[in-house]
């Protein structure tokens, strides 16, 4: 399908982009992996497309004050291959490596993915487990929002008109922690039918300090706090872990589509969360 006609603008600075953001009919373009198909299908009909690709100040990965800061225009491939992230936040690098295909990872950006808020996206599971924060800028100022508060519903976030997501902030992982992201990937798109991200430690043959993020199961990715509490102190035993994660879908309105029913997603969410816990335990020191 031919897209509706629109004006294309490519600002060189964040300040220029903020002047344009929030206007009537304005859409921000990051990597374009989600927006461009929507425009081509006329599911999105912007009058103005503001391309953020020339803003070099939004593309970086650096460590500051015990945290790692990632510019919103950093690509999946840059996150996947970053020596800093592979060493100090391996969960995010591992997750990035599972996204789409080579072309998507070369062009897609972490900021674009988060703002799009696809319920089957990979990053949100890892970011929930990492208790990440996102930084939002507007002409009137700046604010920081926890990822669990930022993700609101299907394709819906807490970003306000006129705001641009500029940065993602994640913790430096402790050396003794084990991490893993496991997903059941859709064979055509690579999106997560269900996916589970886990961070944990082990002590005296038991699990300790578990963080778990789930994607694909419900209308948005979420941190499985109840399961974390059940796993804390559980013996390193496959059957005990399986019992502890069995209720991961409790209270969640599970997605259902032509590929996977709600019941199937509920079952697979527990299976892949158990796999992620097992893999993280293998890596925990």
Residue 89 has pLDDT above 80, yes or no: yes
The yes-or-no verdict on residue 1 having pLDDT over 90 is no
Query: How would residue 90 be classed by pLDDT, with cut points 50, 70 and 90?
Result: very high
pLDDT of the residue at 253: 96
pLDDT-based confidence at residue 24 (cuts at 50, 70, 90): confident
> How much is the pTM?
0.95
**Per-residue confidence band for 33, with pLDDT thresholds at 50, 70 and 90:** confident
List of long-range contacts for 157-161, beta carbons under 8 Å, 24+ apart: 157/114, 157/115, 157/117, 159/115, 160/136, 161/21, 161/22
- Residue 22's pLDDT is 82
Homologous superfamily assigned to 178-283? CO dehydrogenase flavoprotein, C-terminal domain (3.30.390.50)
What's the distance, Cα to Cα, between the start and end of the chain in Å?
Answer: 53
For the chain, residues classed under CATH 3.30.465.10 are 56-171
Q: Find out whether 270 and 249 touch, Cβ atoms under 8 Å.
A: yes
Q: CATH classification of 56-171 is 3.30.479.30, yes or no?
A: no
Comma-separated ranges of CATH 3.30.390.50 domains in the chain: 178-283
Question: Which of left, alpha, beta for 32 (phi over 0: left; psi -120 to 50: alpha)?
Answer: left
Token pair, residue 12, equals 């060189």
Asked whether the beta carbons of 245 and 280 are under 8 A apart, the reply is: no
Q: Note the pLDDT tens digit of each residue in 159-177.
A: 999 999 999 999 999 989 9
**Range(s) within the chain of domains with CATH label 3.30.43.10:** 7-51
Query: What architecture does CATH give domain 7-51?
Result: 2-Layer Sandwich (3.30)
Q: How confident is the model at residue 23 (pLDDT cuts 50, 70, 90)?
A: confident
């Amino acid at each position: 399908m031919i897209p509706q006609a629109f004006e294309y603008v490519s600002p060189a600075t964040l300040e220029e982009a903020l002047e344009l953001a929030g206007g009537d009919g304005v859409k921000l373009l990051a990597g374009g992996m989600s927006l461009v198909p929507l425009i081509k299908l006329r599911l999105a009909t912007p009058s103005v497309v503001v391309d953020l690709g020339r803003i070099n100040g939004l593309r970086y990965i650096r460590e500051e004050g015990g945290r790692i800061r990632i510019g919103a225009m950093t690509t999946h491939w840059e996150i996947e291959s970053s020596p800093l992230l592979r060493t100090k936040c391996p969960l995010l690098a591992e997750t990035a490596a599972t996204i789409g295909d080579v072309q998507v990872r070369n062009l897609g950006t972490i900021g674009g993915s988060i703002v799009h808020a696809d319920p089957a996206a990979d990053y949100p599971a890892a970011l929930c487990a990492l208790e990440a924060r996102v930084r939002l800028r507007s002409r009137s100022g700046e604010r920081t929002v926890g990822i669990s508060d930022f993700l609101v519903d299907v394709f819906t976030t807490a970003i306000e008109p006129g705001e641009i997501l500029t940065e993602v902030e994640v913790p430096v992982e402790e050396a003794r922690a084990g991490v893993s992201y496991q997903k059941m990937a859709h064979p055509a798109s690579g999106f997560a039918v269900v996916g589970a991200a886990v961070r944990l430690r082990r002590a005296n043959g038991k699990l300790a300090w578990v963080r778990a993020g789930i994607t694909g199961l419900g209308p948005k990715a979420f941190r499985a706090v109840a399961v974390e509490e059940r796993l804390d102190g559980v013996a390193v035993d496959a059957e005990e872990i399986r019992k502890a994660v069995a209720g991961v879908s409790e209270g969640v309105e599970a997605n259902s589509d032509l590929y996977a029913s709600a019941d199937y997603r509920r079952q697979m969410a527990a299976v892949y969360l158990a796999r992620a816990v097992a893999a993280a335990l293998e890596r925990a020191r």
